[in-house]
A and B are shown apart, each in its own frame.
Chain A
């Protein structure tokens, strides 16, 4: 890796994003609109005494899930475009290192996700009165980490897609099982043993647990830090595997 090339690549990806105003608008607005839907869905649901409201429970998890899913999709398509436009092959003939490209995507989309998460969290906390024991800063930080996880998995999966149709199919394959088993629908300790094992193997489960820890405790807990470390490790592993699938020579 080379700091100058990494910075240039990150800047280039952000510039591409800047020229695409509609995508920026969608990135910023869509999570807030979805949170609004969630708010009104649960507005009339009774809350057992002493428990967080259903909205508080669901919205907190959604703040982590939206950036993960959106960045997974955006990255899969962006990387596939690099492949089909020939720019990827060209980049690999230049001094650029594979990790410069992959970390460039991770950082650029991570920054975009930070803006997205900040707006979504602001809406959740200040318009819909989301209440968490821990601070909003930790929630946004974990949301950005989730986005970077989505980017890393998107980069890895895009290596296995030759067309846009295939790339989009990786959403149901890679993302939806993680959503189903992350503990949002059924608590993880109430699932059958083999489902729990699957859930334990999915990085998103740890990302969601970290958010729930922030929701339940005023101070960062050891479990939260462990979860954050696991997600971070998954990001690095996915990026290194993605680098291994990038071949400079082809047939």
Chain B
């Protein structure tokens, strides 16, 4: 029971297209796991399946020992959607206090979540008047305010200033050190190096599932971007040769 998330043979179809094609993986507790992949690779769909809001065609997703989407999990899992989903006509503080109340938390936790994402000075400002980066941090504060055991963050650092980005990653690692499990998606490879564990998906398939160091070692390069490229190429070559073998056997 050491895994926060266990996924077996997950298949998801959306709009007649296979978005996730038989993904199996595990996400360890108390660590930051990066979900890397290009735009359209299925990262958001994977996260939605973990949160339990995605209709799935096959496979199982177990979260904190229970099937994804179980009502009890809604107290234990925090979810940040890719597009900031906070109330534009409320202030940052009002948003944080509302989401805090849903999790049975109070004003203290709300204020702490706001300062944790570096928005303390904008706490009294209407979300509608914030910049895009601030708005997504307001949304992040609302995902963290319930102090969930498992935090699912869909591209939390997009559009953030580099200093803030470093602060947020430091914050994620501090949370992991305190026992929280984080699953963080990104399409920026330089963020991959900051994760304890990596899941790389491309075209709905899992290409790599290992620590950054192990992935570098397996590919024989130091640069993660290059390592992923080699893994993808190796995977494609294997698939082509399997196809060729199959074709020969049929012939």
Using CB atoms and an 8 Å cutoff, list the residues of chain A in contact with chain B.
4-5, 8-9, 11-12, 15-16, 19-20, 85-87, 89-96, 248-251
Q: Restricting to B67-94, which residues have a CB under 8 Å from any CB of A?
A: 69, 74-75, 77, 79, 81, 83-90, 94
Our pick among A19, A20, A95 for the contact of B74 (Cβ within 8 Å) is: A95
Say whether, besides A93-B51, A94-B99, A249-B52, A87 and B74 are in contact (CB < 8 Å): no
In this complex, the member of A86, A87, A251 whose beta carbon has the largest number of chain B beta carbons within 10 angstroms is A87
Any chain A CB within 8 A of the CB of B175?
no
A91 partner residues in chain B, CB cutoff 8 A: 102
Distance (whole angstroms) from the CB of A115 to the closest CB of chain B: 19
Q: Mask for B91-116, Cβ within 8 A of A = 1, else 0?
A: 00010001101111000000000000
Query: In the bound complex, what is the Cα–Cα distance between A91 and B74 (angstroms)?
Result: 10
**Assembled-state Cα–Cα distance A12/B86 (Å):** 12
Which of A4, A11, A249 touches B69 (beta carbons < 8 Å)? Answer: A249
* CB–CB A89/B98 < 8 A: no
* Distance in Å: Cβ of B66 to nearest Cβ of chain A: 15
Is the beta-carbon distance between B55 and A89 smaller than 8 angstroms? no
> Of B53, B87, B98, B146, which contacts A248 at CB under 8 A?
B53
Q: Is the CB of A249 within 8 A of B102?
A: no
CA distance A4 to B54 in the complex (A): 28
Can you name 29 A-B pairs with beta carbons within 8 Å?
A4-B101, A4-B104, A5-B101, A9-B98, A12-B90, A16-B87, A16-B89, A16-B90, A19-B89, A19-B126, A85-B88, A86-B81, A86-B83, A87-B86, A87-B87, A90-B142, A92-B53, A93-B74, A94-B74, A94-B102, A94-B146, A95-B102, A95-B103, A96-B102, A249-B53, A249-B55, A249-B69, A251-B14, A251-B15
| Cβ contacts under 8 Å, B126 to chain A | 19
Most chain B CB within 10 A, of A9, A19, A250, is at A19
Asked if B83 contacts A12 (CB within 8 A), the reply is no
B54, A250: Cβ atoms closer than 8 Å: yes
Given known A-B contacts A12-B90, A20-B89, A86-B85, A249 and B104 have beta carbons under 8 A apart: no
B70 vs chain A, min Cβ distance (A): 11
CA distance A147 to B153 in the complex (A): 40
Given contacts A15-B94, A94-B102, contact A250 B55 (CB under 8 A): yes
Q: A9-B98, A19-B126, A96-B102 are in contact. List 11 more A-B contacts (CB 8 A).
A: A5-B101, A5-B102, A11-B98, A15-B94, A16-B90, A19-B90, A86-B81, A89-B53, A90-B81, A93-B74, A94-B74
